Chain A
Amino acid sequence: MSQQDDIFVDPADPSGSPEPAAGSAYLDVRDLRVHFPTDDGVVKSVDGLSFQLDRGKTLGIVGESGSGKSVTSLSIMGLHKEGTAQISGEILLDGQNLVGMGRESVRRLRGKNMAMIFQDPLSAMHPYYTVGNQIVEAYRIHHDVSKSVARKHAVDLLDRVGIPNPASRVDDYPHQFSGGMRQRAMIAMALSCDPELLIADEPTTALDVTVQAQILDLIRDLQQEFNSAVIIITHDLGVVAELADDIMVMYAGRAAEYGTADDIFAEPQHPYTWGLLGSMPRLDRERSERLLPIPGTPPSLINVPDGCPFHPRCAYDELNKGLSETEVPQLRDVGNGHRIACHLSAEDRLRLWTTEIKPKL
């Protein structure tokens, strides 16, 4: 696999990072590439991704289906099936590189150092074991305690995530819980060993809106309590708006825009981020005409378009004289560690944002 370092800013370069203390971050992903060889060609699900995350901080990874969000998180967790994924680059968790580490060593880290909350808790929990049993199981892999101690811990956790009457609900099966309760139980399971890194993959997608807000509040509270590093993966910018410190917008396996949440929401610079914001329903503003969907569909990850992968769907790709069709835009710093991968000039971006995009949001 060829290293295409010229495409991206060197992740070790502190000036390009929104985190001032690069290199000492708890999670440091450097030029991650995850490729899946298939009969139709190599699927480049993640193709050169770098980011850092400290404990106590939250990173939101946003993008459409197939942009590489989940593949990234599964790579960190080491959950790709053996032999299916070709992973290169570095994933440094507390200084240890997970890429190339033995499967058994990664297994020992799973659950304890890093844990994951999955999208659909009904299918992500085993239907034949009680909720308590599944939490106890997670706890006892990493802690040599008796069943009754582990069970008490499970009850405490269920109480902590807001499940009423935890002492009896601990013996319920997942199907006896409501959707929101199941997600709480899932969170309790992920938190059972106080993980330092918590990855939540679309944690609220299967839930209704009121429950979504509760779950997001819960994740935030628990993060403060446990001082974890949290990655929230979502296709919904609204989910990360209040929760995330940093946001990375992904497109076709690469970062399109990466910066602090404040910057991304106050002054998004990438046309794709504009598209995401434009297609998001907002209750806190006057309704302006209608939602503006991004035209087209996400590109094939086997034949990624030449140049900027977003250019076939971009309304402004003609503004830079065909550069978007031929040259892959670098992820570059546009000020204060706010980074974008776009060929548009600073003047064009500012003009488009203030005159065309912002008024319609």
Chain B
Amino acid sequence: MITYIIRRLIAAVVLLFIVSAVTFSIFFLVPRITGATPETLATRYVGRTATEETVKAIADRLGFYDSIFVQYGRWAKGVVAGNEFDLGSGVEQCPAPCLGYSFLTSRPVWPELIDRIPVTLSLAAGAALIWVVAGVSIGVLSALRRGTIFDRGAMGIALAGVSLPIFYTGLMALTIFSYGLGWTAKAGRFVPFDQNPADWAYSLILPWITLAFLFSAQYARLTRAGMLETMNEDFIRTARAKGLRERTVVVKHGLRGALTPILTIFGLDVGLLLGGAVLTETAFSLKGLGQFAVQAINDNDLPKVMGVTMLAAIFIVIANLIVDLLYAVVDPRVRTS
């Protein structure tokens, strides 16, 4: 088991290296394919009246004349050991892990990302809790009451939940519950958890429900399908033949079998959301990683885009790793083979 974990960790590091190399290449190559030269890239960082010599000097200072390998090497070194940038107005420090340095804002990317993590983490964690509880229980009930009004109604709502985009449900929820009824906080409000947990929950309840609606719909459908399949397994018949109570049969024998595939999807979904719930954060004006990424892309601020991409990749890789390890906990056939 320990060797398995070590092997997976090494694989994760290799994977992150590949992701960073590919992402870096894309950001390096795409502007050059569309005809940009080091000088045109550098003009974004100098004043409008700058002479050609100044532009060249800046381009040189930012390392735009170096080959892709040298530039990637410099970036990778920054992640491990930190970097220093001399933009002409003195040396700027970018301590490790330096995921990049925004020349537009003259700030390292990493601290900005750190600032954004609590928002996205709160959003993802709260929503995940709601959608797992709601989605799985609705799915189980639907499966057990297959064909009834409850089942049809729940699956109809689930279909709506899967189909409706967040920017629609989010704005509708805001209009009705926040601005209309005044039950929930207005958009754009975020209170850190350690400051006031009640306020934290109050400020996030609407985004949680909006995001969870989409996911619980998906999880309800998955759970229902999984339960219907599992409840037809031979071992369910065996459990009944022993004289077990129906509730024990459903929960201990049925749900346990049906939850394994859900676990995989759950890990991936949470990993993905931690990289930024772009639509939800935008709809509710939450300053999370998703909004950070959107802004970085709009500003054409490549170091920031690169940084947030890497952070998202790290979350997904870690989530995957945890799912794989949990799989071994849940399914003894994985653990003992």
A interface residues, Cβ below 8 angstroms from B: 77, 79, 107-112, 115-116, 118, 120, 123-128, 130, 137-138, 141-142, 173, 175-176, 189-190
- Assess the B331–A128 pair: CB atoms within 8 A: yes
- Assess the B243–A110 pair: CB atoms within 8 A: yes
Contact A126:B257 (CB < 8 A) given known A120-B234, A173-B336: yes
Distance from B239 Cβ to chain A, minimum over Cβ atoms (Å): 7
- Assess the A127–B331 pair: CB atoms within 8 A: yes
The reply to whether the CB of B48 lies closer than 8 angstroms to some CB of chain A is no
Give chain B's interface secondary structure class. helix
Contact A127:B237 (CB < 8 A) given known A141-B242, A142-B243: no
List the A side residues contacting B7 at CB < 8 Å. none
- Assess the A123–B235 pair: CB atoms within 8 A: yes
List the A side residues contacting B333 at CB < 8 Å. 127, 173, 175
Cβ-defined partner of A118 (8 Å) among B234, B243, B256: B234
- Assess the A141–B244 pair: CB atoms within 8 A: yes
Can you name 11 A-B pairs with beta carbons within 8 Å? A111-B243, A123-B235, A124-B235, A126-B238, A126-B239, A126-B257, A128-B256, A141-B242, A173-B336, A176-B336, A189-B238
B interface residues, Cβ below 8 angstroms from A: 233-235, 237-246, 253, 256-257, 330-333, 336-337
- In Å, the complex CA distance between A229 and B286 comes to 70
Cβ-defined partner of B238 (8 Å) among A107, A108, A125, A128: A125
- Assess the B237–A124 pair: CB atoms within 8 A: yes
- In Å, the complex CA distance between A177 and B312 comes to 43
Distance from B143 Cβ to chain A, minimum over Cβ atoms (Å): 13
- Assess the A107–B237 pair: CB atoms within 8 A: no
Contact A108:B235 (CB < 8 A) given known A127-B331, A128-B330: no
Contact A112:B234 (CB < 8 A) given known A127-B332, A127-B333, A173-B333: no
List the A side residues contacting B241 at CB < 8 Å. 77, 79, 110-111, 115-116, 118, 190
List the A side residues contacting B336 at CB < 8 Å. 173, 175-176
- In Å, the complex CA distance between A352 and B256 comes to 58
Nearest 8 interchain pairs by C-beta:
A111-B243, A110-B243, A123-B234, A138-B242, A124-B234, A126-B235, A111-B242, A173-B332
- In Å, the complex CA distance between A189 and B238 comes to 10
- Which among B233, B246, B330, B332 has the greatest number of chain A C-beta atoms within 10 A? B332
List the B side residues contacting A118 at CB < 8 Å. 234, 237-238, 241
List the A side residues contacting B332 at CB < 8 Å. 127-128, 130, 173, 175
